[in-house]
């Protein structure tokens, strides 16, 4: 992680604050991670954990009217994204970094033919003429499995799955180096989910794109990601390679997430959900933000913020227990 040269993007101490009704909402509280070219990181966490805010902060598309502060460092290929002028950021958006949005139903402009919504990105970044860009957009649509004769239709004539394909086509149109996919399959049918994930994986392989995958689906993470960052209340509480996190989940929250997954190999009558609710982001607890829900919280957890500690090669965890005990309460070697 320390090798800045090798990293395509590194996020350091990212803080995002919103304001709402006179209160400050602490959506992201010091998130750090980095990603090499062509690799995939999964940001996992509950709704409201700040995953989307992280993504939007990277692209600098947080809503102006609600955002109070964005602090920290986001280094993309040597450029400091949070401090470059808007014009340079515009040149990166959609070209070097692009994003697949969560809800395909609302992410497309209802009054523009889909082909045009893809083509305008091509015109903006690849210096194409109108005709060339339309050709390019049609090709892109074919890549995601939409035939040319539907290219001139409007979003309302498409099903949810097809809309999501269009959203993906928009994001991939200019062969970005970094793709941020914000729950790309959440709004879709299970049958289409697999198709869309396959599509993204194939395209990633072909184009060598690095992927930040935001999801709460651990199954998807297990399938696609090289690294996993578990996000809770705007903080990374556990980070590591897929194997490290899946084989030795060390933060009690991660353990809880796995416990909430149905396991067909065991005969369990009830899933064990993580008890309680995430903390109110306008009023975070003083100590570890998971402490109020943590089955194993110590006295020290509630007093002061807990730092990250290294417990494996790339495996780090924000817990006083340092992952010394696994989910069954036994000591790990």
Partner 1 sequence: MARYIGKRLLQMIPILIVVAILIFSLMSFVPGDPVQIMLGDNATPEQIMETRASLGLDKPFISRLGSYLADLARLDFGKSYTQGTAVGAELMARFPKTLTLAFFSIIFTIVIGIPIGIQCAINANKLSDKVWMFLTMLGNSMPGFWLALLLVILFSVKLGWLPSSGDSGLNYFILPVIANSIGSLADIARQTRSSMLEVIRSDYVVTARSKGLSERDVIWKHALPNALIPIITVCGSRFGFMLGGTVIIESVFSIAGIGTYMVNGINSRDYPIVQGSIIYIAFIFAFIMLLTDLIYAYVDPRIKAQYISAGSKSKKRERGGIRKSYGKE
Q: Rule CB under 8 A: which residues touch partner 1? A: 56, 59, 61, 63, 65, 86, 90-95, 98-99, 101, 103, 106-113, 116-117, 120-121, 124-125, 130, 152-154, 156-157, 167, 170-171
Shortest distance, CB of residue 93 to partner 1, whole angstroms?
Answer: 4
Burial category of 239 from C-beta neighbours within 10 Å (exposed 0-12, middle 13-18, buried 19 and up): buried
- The closest of 250, 261, 187 to 221, measured between CA atoms, is 261
Residue closer to partner 1 by CB (options 92, 255) is 92
Residue closer to partner 1 by CB (options 154, 246) is 154
> Phi and psi of 238, rounded to 5°?
-155, 135
Shortest distance, CB of residue 106 to partner 1, whole angstroms?
Answer: 4
Distance CA 116, CA 100 (A): 17
**H or E segment and range at residue 27:** strand 23-36
Which residue reads 């800045």 in tokens?
Answer: 4
- The closest of 44, 61, 53 to 15, measured between CA atoms, is 53
Shortest distance, CB of residue 122 to partner 1, whole angstroms?
Answer: 9
Residue closer to partner 1 by CB (options 156, 296) is 156
Shortest distance, CB of residue 154 to partner 1, whole angstroms?
Answer: 4
Shortest distance, CB of residue 5 to partner 1, whole angstroms?
Answer: 26
Q: How is the beta sheet containing 67-76 ordered, strand by strand?
A: 23-36, 7-20, 67-76, 79-80
3-state DSSP call for residue 304?
coil
Residue closer to partner 1 by CB (options 163, 318) is 163
Residue closer to partner 1 by CB (options 124, 139) is 124
Shortest distance, CB of residue 317 to partner 1, whole angstroms?
Answer: 33
Which residue pairs from 259-263 have beta carbons closer than 8 angstroms and sit at least 24 positions apart in sequence?
A: 259/327, 261/218, 261/219
Residue closer to partner 1 by CB (options 66, 222) is 66
- The closest of 50, 57, 73, 87 to 281, measured between CA atoms, is 50
Residue closer to partner 1 by CB (options 52, 289) is 52
Shortest distance, CB of residue 171 to partner 1, whole angstroms?
Answer: 8
Residue closer to partner 1 by CB (options 111, 331) is 111
- Output the DSSP codes for 143-197: HTT--GGGTTS-GGGS-HHHHHHHHHHHHHTT--SEEEEESTTTTS-HHHHHHHH
Shortest distance, CB of residue 103 to partner 1, whole angstroms?
Answer: 6
């Amino acid at each position: 992680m320390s090798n800045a040269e090798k990293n395509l993007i590194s996020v350091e101490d990212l803080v995002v604050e919103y304001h709402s009704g006179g209160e400050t909402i602490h959506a992201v509280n010091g998130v750090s991670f980095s990603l090499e070219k062509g690799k995939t990181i999964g940001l996992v966490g509950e709704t409201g954990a700040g995953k989307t805010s992280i993504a939007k902060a990277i692209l600098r598309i947080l809503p102006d009217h609600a955002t109070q502060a964005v602090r920290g460092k986001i280094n993309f290929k040597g450029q400091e994204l949070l401090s470059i002028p808007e014009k340079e950021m515009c040149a990166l958006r959609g070209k070097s970094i692009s994003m697949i949005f969560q809800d395909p139903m609302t992410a497309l402009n209802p009054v523009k033919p889909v082909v045009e919504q893809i083509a305008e990105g091509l015109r903006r970044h690849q210096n194409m003429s109108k005709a060339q860009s339309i050709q390019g957009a049609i090709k892109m649509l074919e890549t995601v499995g939409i035939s040319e004769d539907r290219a001139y239709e409007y979003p309302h004539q498409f099903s949810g799955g097809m809309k999501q394909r269009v959203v993906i086509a928009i994001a991939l149109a200019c062969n970005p180096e970094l793709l941020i996919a914000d729950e790309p399959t959440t709004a879709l049918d299970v049958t289409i989910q697999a198709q869309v994930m396959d599509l993204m994986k194939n395209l990633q392989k072909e184009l060598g794109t690095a992927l930040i995958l935001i999801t709460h689906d651990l199954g998807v993470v297990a399938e696609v990601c090289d690294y996993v960052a578990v996000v809770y209340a705007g903080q990374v509480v556990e980070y590591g390679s897929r194997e490290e996190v899946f084989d030795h989940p060390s933060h009690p929250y991660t353990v809880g997430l796995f416990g909430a997954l149905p396991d067909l190999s065991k005969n369990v009558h009830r899933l064990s959900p993580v008890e309680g609710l995430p903390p109110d982001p306008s009023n975070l607890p003083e100590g570890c933000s998971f402490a109020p829900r943590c089955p194993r919280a110590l006295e020290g957890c509630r007093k002061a913020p807990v730092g990250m500690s290294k417990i494996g090669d790339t495996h780090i965890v924000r817990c006083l227990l340092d992952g010394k005990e696994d989910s069954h309460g036994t000591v790990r070697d």
